[in-house]
């Protein structure tokens, strides 16, 4: 096997997100404080973090970590390789002539959910029960945050009344049957973000029919492993809608004794 060229200098450009904003869950590559203005403001949603004796503005990164919003991995390179390997397999799916028994797209999604170490974010137009089950399984270990639109009553009840099945799964819902104004505001973008390192975009609704259609080549699901694009997808398509449900303009940095997401 011939060795491929790899410049370790490219690792210097590898800047995975380090924090999540408490309000918008935007992905931040650095703690959001500004030496000039002496303020700590989220660049994605503009919420201002108000300093306290315990957390002056320069310690906003420590505050976010304490709130469970740090994005650190035990082995960043190993974890990235593992997700990249799933992405590579998925790009050959549905089963190519070289891999007649290759993994399906859904299998790739399940593997990613299984290997997520910090969080999963998604925006989906509808959701099927099987995929809800997969997300609940992932949410036994990591924070799963999702925006679901066009939600029918049964699913809304299931999500609201049985949140204890997966307490790390948090959803914000746009229910079906909304009036015209709400219908126009209903998100139709589809994106799934895993650990800020990998994303699915395209028609990746969390419905079985969507993924089956993509497997049959009748819909598009693209796997993104360019970290800059993953961050942009999260901050552009997930965070602004997530923020709509949270009216805070300021967050006072006091330690939450129950600091759990």
Told to check if 21 binds Zn ion by CB under 5 A, we report yes
Told to check if 42 binds Zn ion by CB under 5 A, we report yes
- Stretch near Zn ion under the rule CB under 5 A, chosen from 14-22, 60-68, 144-152, 199-207: 14-22
- Stretch near Zn ion under the rule CB under 5 A, chosen from 11-19, 26-34, 87-95, 98-106: 26-34
Q: Give the H/E segment covering residue 21.
A: none
Helices 76-92, 105-115: inter-axial angle, 10-degree rounding:
170
Question: 186: alpha, beta or left, given left = phi > 0 and alpha = psi -120 to 50?
Answer: beta
Using CA atoms, how far apart are residues 213 and 207, in angstroms rounded to an integer?
10
3-state SS, residue 236: helix
Of 42 and 192, the one with the shorter C-beta distance to Zn ion is 42
Of 60 and 135, the one with the shorter C-beta distance to Zn ion is 60
Told to check if 45 binds Zn ion by CB under 5 A, we report yes
Of 43 and 177, the one with the shorter C-beta distance to Zn ion is 43
Q: Smallest distance, Å, CB 47 to Zn ion?
A: 5
b/e sequence 75-102, b meaning 16+ C-beta within 10 Å: eeeebbebbeebbebbeebeeeeeeeeb
- Choose, by CB under 5 A, the member of 16, 18, 20, 26 that binds Zn ion: 26
Told to check if 24 binds Zn ion by CB under 5 A, we report yes
Return the closest-CA partner of residue 171 out of 207, 136, 209, 208. 136
Q: Which residues contribute to the site for Zn ion (CB under 5 A)?
A: 21, 23-24, 26, 42, 44-45
């Amino acid at each position: 096997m011939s060795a491929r060229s790899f410049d370790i200098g490219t690792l210097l450009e590898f800047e995975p997100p380090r924090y999540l904003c408490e309000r918008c869950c935007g992905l931040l590559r650095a703690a959001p404080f500004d030496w000039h203005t002496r303020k700590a403001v989220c660049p994605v949603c503009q919420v201002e973090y108000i300093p306290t004796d315990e957390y002056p503005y320069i310690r906003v990164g420590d505050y976010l970590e304490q709130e469970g919003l740090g994005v650190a991995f035990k082995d960043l390179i190993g974890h990235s390789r593992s997700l990249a390997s799933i992405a590579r397999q998925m790009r050959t799916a549905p089963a190519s002539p070289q891999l007649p028994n290759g993994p399906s797209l859904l299998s790739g999604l399940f593997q990613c959910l299984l290997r997520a170490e910090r969080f999963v974010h998604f925006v989906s137009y509808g959701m099927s029960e099987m995929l809800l089950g997969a997300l609940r399984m992932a949410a036994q270990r990591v924070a799963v945050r999702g925006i679901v639109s066009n939600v029918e009553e049964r699913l809304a009840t299931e999500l609201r009344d049985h949140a204890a099945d997966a307490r790390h799964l948090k959803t914000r819902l746009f229910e079906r049957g909304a009036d015209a104004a709400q219908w126009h505001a209903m998100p139709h973008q589809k994106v799934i973000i895993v650990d800020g390192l990998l994303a699915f975009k395209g028609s990746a609704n969390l419905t079985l029919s969507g993924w089956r259609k993509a497997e049959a080549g009748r819909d598009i699901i693209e796997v993104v492993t360019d970290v800059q694009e993953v961050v942009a997808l999260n901050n552009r398509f997930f965070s602004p809608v997530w923020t709509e449900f949270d009216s805070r303009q300021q967050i006072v940095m006091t330690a939450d004794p129950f600091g759990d997401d």
